[in-house]
């Protein structure tokens, strides 16, 4: 009896040893981190590395996410196993779905359910869960609370009110000895960010979302023309000429140096502008974007970020383990507290530590619920082509086109062709 027991124990010990030998073999997994949140991404990966014993090799994505598309395309075309975990912009889900592993068997259902259903549902394509949500991005309006108070102004509710308040405060501040201040800075460069800004002006003015959910190209309408004309007229009056070349970071730099009254950007600007030692601590207010006319819903563009596992990864299990940590509650909480990133894990919207750092989280959640999606689901692989046609035409308009209606009409005809492209 005693010998039998001993034998059993020895067998169990041998089994345990062999299990831990397998899991202890340190592997290296490789992931992409976006340039904007690189340090936080690196910190999360390092934490996982410490507990898992595996290494993470991090690749920094280009500053402008558009520039990552050809890099991904090359990796996928080569069936490359070089990168295991990928950062996926919401508009890429349809474009890259065929190259992403199905996460349904790799991520336990209760972990999936911890996220806002709308965010995970958007990543369920053709019976696969192609990615998991990492953080929510919705267009928000940041403003100089101190300056609005100084001039007795309320945060504006419509774009026309914003235009008037921006002009008044800008002119008064210039007269008071701040010659470099502008009323409003945003993203006017010819790139995906301009698609987001312009979609917001148009959708919040009742001009639709470029292409309707059932696939009809709807951009050629008077409300869209009016919204684009209003934006064109901002240049040189409340927005500097330089806006035509600003992306998120360039426009943020102007705002955070104290040279703008209003600033449209994503939630991370709360983190940067309120970081210890930053120049605008305590002086910034955040609100949902204005609307075109009373009665329209606020329409921040939806920019949720996701993580996915490459279908060509040779280490999908370990990659999924890293992904689960990075999108999980602990890491999202760290990112919210240290960087102002808005979580996709619903429970964090009731977390005291997070609420203490992001006091407008409830408002951001409402803005997220009202947000508008770019037409990437309905265009799938052609989204990038459609968006490029759109932002190039918008850029032409805001650069001073006289015939806004004609430019929109021509843009609509091109988009009709883009949606039918088959390569």
Positions touching ligand GLC (CB under 6 A) are 65, 89-91, 137, 192-193, 196, 248, 266, 303, 305
- Shortest Å, Cβ 70 to ligand GLC: 15
For ligand GLC, the closer of residues 30 and 301 by Cβ is: 301
Residue among 193 and 206 whose Cβ is closer to ligand GLC: 193
CB nearer to ligand GLC: give 187 or 274: 187
Neighbours of 47 (CB within 10 A): 15
**Considering beta carbons, is residue 181 or 323 the nearer one to ligand GLC?**
323
Name the minimum Å distance from CB 172 to ligand GLC: 32
The beta-strand segments (E) located in 217-320 are 260-265, 284-287, 305-309
Instruction: Write down the least CB distance from residue 134 to ligand GLC, Å.
Output: 10
First-to-last alpha carbon distance for the chain, in angstroms, is 72
Q: Is 398 within 8 Å of 244 (Cβ atoms)?
A: yes
> Which letter, b or e, does each residue of 182-198 get, where b requires 16 or more Cβ atoms within 10 Å of its Cβ?
bbbbbbbbbbbbbbbbb
The structure tokens 């806004």 sit at 404
Least distance in angstroms from the C-beta of 248 to ligand GLC: 6
Cα–Cα distance between 134 and 132 in angstroms, integer? 6
In angstroms, give the least distance from the CB of 247 to ligand GLC: 6
Count of CB atoms situated within 10 Å of the CB of 229: 16
How near is the Cβ of 195 to ligand GLC at its closest, in Å? 8
Rounded Cα distance between 203 and 370, Å, is 11
Looking at the Cβ atoms of 29 and 289, the one nearer to ligand GLC is: 289
Q: How far apart are CA 363 and CA 141, in angstroms?
A: 12
Nearer of residues 188 and 208 to ligand GLC, judged by Cβ: 188
Q: How far is the CB of 196 from ligand GLC (least distance, A)?
A: 5
List helix spans (H) across 151-209.
159-175, 192-203
- Nearer to ligand GLC (CB atom), residue 48 or residue 87: 87
Distance CA 138, CA 177 (A): 34
The least distance separating ligand GLC from the CB of residue 378, rounded to whole angstroms, comes to: 17
CB 35 within 8 A of CB 62: yes
Do 343 and 349 touch, CB atoms closer than 8 A?
A: yes
**Cβ-based neighbour number of residue 261 at 10 Å:** 26
Q: Is 282 exposed, middle or buried (0-12, 13-18, 19+ CB in 10 A)?
A: exposed
Least separation, in Å, of the C-beta of 120 and ligand GLC? Answer: 17
- Strands 182-185 and 260-265, how do they pair? parallel
**Residue number, 148 or 305, with CB nearest to ligand GLC:** 305
- CB of 45 or CB of 65, closer to ligand GLC: 65
The residue number with the shortest CB distance to ligand GLC is: 303
């Amino acid at each position: 009896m005693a010998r039998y027991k001993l034998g059993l124990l020895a067998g169990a010990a041998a089994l345990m040893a062999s299990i831990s030998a397998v899991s202890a073999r340190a592997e290296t997994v490789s992931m992409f981190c976006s340039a904007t949140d690189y340090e936080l991404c690196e910190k999360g990966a390092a934490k996982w590395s410490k507990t898992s014993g595996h290494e993470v090799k991090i690749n920094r994505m280009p500053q402008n996410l558009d520039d990552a598309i050809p890099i991904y395309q090359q990796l996928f075309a080569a069936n490359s196993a070089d990168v295991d975990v990928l950062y996926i912009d919401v508009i890429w889900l349809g474009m890259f779905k065929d190259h992403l592993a199905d996460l349904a068997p790799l991520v336990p259902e209760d972990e999936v359910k911890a996220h806002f259903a709308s965010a995970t549902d958007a990543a369920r394509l053709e019976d696969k869960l192609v990615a998991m949500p990492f953080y929510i991005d919705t267009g928000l309006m940041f403003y100089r609370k101190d300056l609005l108070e100084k001039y007795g102004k309320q945060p504006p509710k419509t774009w026309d009110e914003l235009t008037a308040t921006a002009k008044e405060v800008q002119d008064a501040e210039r007269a008071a000895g701040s010659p470099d201040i502008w009323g409003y800075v945003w993203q006017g460069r010819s790139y995906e960010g301009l698609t987001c800004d312009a979609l917001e002006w148009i959708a919040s003015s009742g001009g639709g979302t470029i292409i309707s959910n059932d696939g009809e190209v709807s951009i050629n309408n008077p409300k869209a023309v009016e919204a684009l004309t209003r934006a064109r007229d901002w240049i040189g009056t409340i927005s500097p000429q330089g806006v035509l070349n600003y992306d998120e970071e360039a426009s943020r730099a102007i705002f955070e140096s104290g040279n703008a009254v209003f600033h449209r950007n994503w939630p991370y600007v709360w983190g940067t502008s309120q970081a210890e030692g930053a120049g605008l601590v305590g002086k910034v207010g955040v609100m949902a974007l204005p609307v075109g006319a009373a009665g329209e819903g606020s329409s921040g563009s939806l920019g949720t970020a996701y993580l996915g596992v490459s279908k060509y990864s040779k280490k999908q299990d370990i990659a999924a383990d890293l992904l689960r940590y990075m999108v999980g509650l602990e890491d999202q909480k760290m990112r919210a507290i240290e960087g102002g990133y808005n979580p996709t894990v619903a429970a964090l919207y009731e977390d005291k530590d997070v609420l203490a750092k992001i006091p407008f989280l409830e408002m951001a959640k409402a803005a997220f619920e009202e947000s508008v999606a770019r037409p990437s689901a309905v265009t799938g692989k052609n989204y990038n082509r459609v968006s490029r046609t759109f932002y190039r035409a918008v850029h032409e308009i805001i650069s001073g086109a006289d015939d806004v209606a004609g430019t929109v009409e021509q843009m609509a005809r091109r988009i009709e062709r883009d949606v039918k492209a088959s390569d």
